[in-house]
Amino acid sequence: MIRFLRNKVAGLLEKVGLHTLGASFRRSDANAKSVPGKKGKRPGKKNHSPAGKYDALRNGKKKDSASSSFSPVREKRQEKKKEERKTEAKRIVPPVPELVEVPDEPGKVRMNCLPLAREILGAVQTLDFKYCTPIQAQCLPAALEGKDFAAKAQTGTGKTAAFLASSMTRLLLNPVVPEKRKKGSCRVLVLSPTRELAIQIKNDADKLAQYTALNNLVIFGGMDHKGQREALEEPVDILVGTPGRIIDYTRSGDLYLGDTEILVIDEADRMLDMGFIPDVRRIVSRLPQAGKRQTMLFSATLEEEVLRLVKSWLVDPVSFEAEPEHVVTDLIEQKFYAVTSDQKLAFLLHLLKTLPYERIIIFGNWKEKNRILAEKLYEYGYDAGLLSGDIPQEKRLKLVEKFKRGDLKIVVATDVAARGLHVEGITHVINYDLPDHPEDYVHRIGRTGRAGNKGCAIGFVCEYGAYVMPEIEKYANITMKTDLPEEDALILPEKVNERRSLREKGSMGKSGNRRSSGSSRHFRGRR
């Protein structure tokens, strides 16, 4: 039938004088008949089958450009990354600035009175840290003596600087010849429950190590596995990571923990909440035994479950606790409004219209409801970013960078952003849903009122929020006085945009309707 149609078309073309086209139709028909049962090859096309490529390579022929163009580009990129890492490792270390005496202040411990390495004191001075926070004043002397300890401390109390400054001092005062160190080994291991917190700890480590040649590295899931593995080809001084990715590299042999001198477990209570303790146990089993390493454990609470970990992993530990009255800084103004669930959106839009905010974080308890809220905000003219554990890590990092630059003013987040997200200029935090774990409330509002700047935290107290108020009041040592919004603040304005879906393929996973992981252990089933 096909041959008949081809000949018919060719005959018609020849009749109207298009002999060349008619002949080409007949040639293509002849080619089709030349190999019975198979399709004929189109003229001028090379054989791109795998077998054809293999034969060409075996015969010494050059591959076609389409099949070979990607490989050299990828190799060049990999080589460039390696060179960048080498350059960073061999960076020129600036000289330590001349240290300036800090005046005495009653009841305060001066940083430069502690036996920290001179390079660390220089960085502390550059960062304008003059006096120890209460938890630093307690932890630093014990840490510098090499003692194991467990500290009850909230985020924003200065605990990160405490364990980093003491660890770096030990490394600098007790150097190890690089040639004697094993590939993929680390001297200090810091375990973090979340990627955001791990990244922040590494950034803090780089700032404190600015006058040293210490090699700091952060590794976590959701990012380039190969690039992180290649970074482990050199010995690392301070390695920060999440438990899952640390286990991945120890199992593959890329990471060796047998020479680790210091273990830091940050936010142990969060590790329990997120189910990471079995992973942490596996990691600890690969480290030198307790007593041969120094172990520092930090937790927002020292509950029975956390104390059992302390007994297992620490030897003759000292315990410290930040004073309860410093749980919430005086720089944060706290307001609470009584609204029903169906009034929340209208009141939120009223606040966004009237508040003089620079950057604002809106916290909710449910990943899926947060996504819907971000979509609703877009309908009413507000571009809001979405942060939750189900958002791909690369996208989360880009969103945080936009937030830091000020290109994005509003972020809707679960508790994944309550700890470890340090962005300057967050003027307001709104608890669209009050958390059912009081510690999460403190961590959330701690995103504002930082570095001496004032901030404002606003809580929506709905039908459910009333149940969690007493526990938050007790824990944060506050009185939650609720106000009623004005009636005109509860009227929805006109929409300005068509609805935009923020759901990406696979981004919500199977857990899209679940609560944020930070509150799962304490969920009371009231909703």
123 & 61 share domain: no
Same domain, 201 and 256: yes
- For residue 14, give every residue at least 6 positions away whose Cβ sits within 8 Å of its Cβ, in sequence order, or none: 22
Residues 263 and 344 in one domain: no
Q: Are residues 260 and 372 located together in one domain of the fold?
A: no
- Among residues 96, 103, 210, 99, the alpha carbon closest in space to that of 164 is found at 210
**Tens-digit pLDDT profile for residues 218-238:** 999 877 778 888 889 889 999
Regarding whether 250 and 177 lie in a shared domain, the answer is yes
pLDDT of residue 126: 94
Q: Once rounded to an integer, what is the mean pLDDT over residues 249-278?
A: 92
- The string of DSSP codes covering 390-422 is TS-HHHHHHHHHHHHHTS--EEEE-GGGTSS--
Q: Please report, rounded to a whole number, the percentage of residues in the chain having pLDDT higher than 70.
A: 75
Do both 292 and 366 map to the same domain? no
The CATH number for 363's domain is 3.40.50.300
Give the lowest-confidence range in 187-191, 373-377, 378-382, 439-443. Answer: 439-443
Please tell me the distance from the alpha carbon of residue 457 to that of residue 411, in angstroms, as a whole number. Answer: 15
Q: What is the pTM of this model?
A: 0.63
Number of domains in the chain: 3
**Candidate from 161-175, 198-212, 362-376, 387-401 with smallest mean pLDDT:** 387-401
- Looking only at Cα atoms, what is the longest distance across the chain? 109
Residues 314 and 343 occupy one common structural domain:
no
Please tell me whether residues 340 and 313 are part of one structural domain: no
3-class state of residue 107 by DSSP: coil
Do strands 428-431 and 410-413 pair parallel, antiparallel, or not at all (unpaired)?
Answer: unpaired
Q: What single-letter DSSP state applies at residue 343?
A: G
Residues β-bridged to residue 360: 410, 428
Assess if residue 102 is contained within a domain: no
Are 378 and 491 in the same domain?
yes
Q: Indicate whether 69 pLDDT > 80.
A: no
Q: CA 122, CA 112: separation in Å to the nearest integer? A: 9
Helix (H) or strand (E) holding 460: strand 455-461
- Same domain for 314 and 184: yes
122 and 17 within one domain: no
Tell me, yes or no, whether 255 and 343 share the same domain. no
| Residue range of the domain that includes 462 | 332-522
Higher pLDDT, residue 19 or 475: 475
SS3 344: helix
For residue 218, list its beta bridge partners: 240
In a domain, 192, yes or no: yes
Does 43 have pLDDT greater than 50? no
Residue pLDDT, tens place only, 5-18: 666 655 655 554 55
Per-state percent for the chain, helix, strand, coil, to nearest 5: 45, 15, 40
Q: Tell me the CA distances in angstroms from 184 to 14, 187, 250, 422, one per residue in order.
A: 75, 10, 9, 29
